[in-house]
Amino acid sequence: MESKKGSGGLWSLFWTFAKMGVMTFGGGMAMLPILQREVVDNKGWATEEELTDYYAIGQCTPGIIAVNTATFIGQKCGGMMGGIMATLGVVFPSVVIISILAGLISNFADLAWVKNAFAGIQVCVCVLIFNAVMKLLKKSVVDKRTAVIFLLVLAGGLFLKLSPVWFVIAAALAGILLKNLEAKQA
């Protein structure tokens, strides 16, 4: 297999992922078709099957899906440095664009029409988050026990003075415990 190590390969990883970062609008899901075109069709860095695998694992490991997938493809092409360069590439456009925008917006934040516009946008953000939760519910709440976990964490998240970290740790342990019990009973 062709090795992509060396500085040329690393920069190519950086720029290709930077380009994909610019083209991604929205969540990690929006990135898949772009990854397929660039990584599989244009660069040949991974096969269709490998990409699907990376993407699936990227969704169920901690962190941003786009970053996880980028690290995966990068490390396959250029080892550890490849993984790091691909990730730096995919976040590079965000850092530049958001820093510029954030600076601009803070200058205009006191204008009446900007305030009104953001008040309208906040309503939309509510709906977008609500839609995201509904979509996730279908995938994550698959039986009575997952429904109970969902409701417990929902209530805990609203009323307890706890960092989300603890809910995540507890839920992972609960998952292992419940499935172990089920395996024993079977």
Partner 1 sequence: MIYLQLFWEFFKTGLFAVGGGMATLPFLQAIGESTGWYTYTDLMNMLAVSESTPGPIGINMATYVGFTAAGIPGAVIATLGEVTPSIIVILIVAAVLQSFRNNKYVDRAFYGLRPASTGLIGAACVSVILEVLTGVRLALLTGIVKAPVLSGESLLNIPGLLLAAALIVLTNYVPKVKNLHPIVFIGLSAAVGVVFRFAGA
Which residues in the 47-86 window bind partner 1 by CB under 8 A?
53, 57-68, 71-72, 75-76, 80, 83-84
Residues numbered 156 to 175 that lie near partner 1 (CB under 8 A) are 156-161, 163-165, 167-175
Q: Which of 15, 37, 105, 107 binds partner 1 (CB under 8 A)?
A: 105
Closest CA to 44 of 76, 80, 91, 67: 76
Q: In whole angstroms, how far apart are CA 65 and each of 29, 55, 111, 128?
A: 8, 7, 36, 19
Q: If binding is defined by CB under 8 A, does position 112 make contact with partner 1?
A: yes
- The least distance separating partner 1 from the CB of residue 159, rounded to whole angstroms, comes to 7
Query: Does the protein bind partner 1 through residue 31 (CB under 8 A)?
Result: yes
36 binds partner 1 (CB under 8 A): no
Among 6, 7, 15, 126, binds partner 1 (CB under 8 A): 126
22 binds partner 1 (CB under 8 A): yes
CA–CA distance, 25 with 19 (Å, rounded to integer) = 12
Q: Is 93 in the site for partner 1 (CB under 8 A)?
A: yes
Report the candidate in 179, 150, 13, 19 with the shortest Cα–Cα distance to residue 82.
13
Question: Residue 50 is which amino acid?
Answer: E
- Measured from the CB of residue 47, what is the shortest distance to partner 1 in angstroms? 14
C-alpha distances (whole Å) from 165 to each of 58, 153, 168, 169, 171 are 19, 11, 5, 6, 10
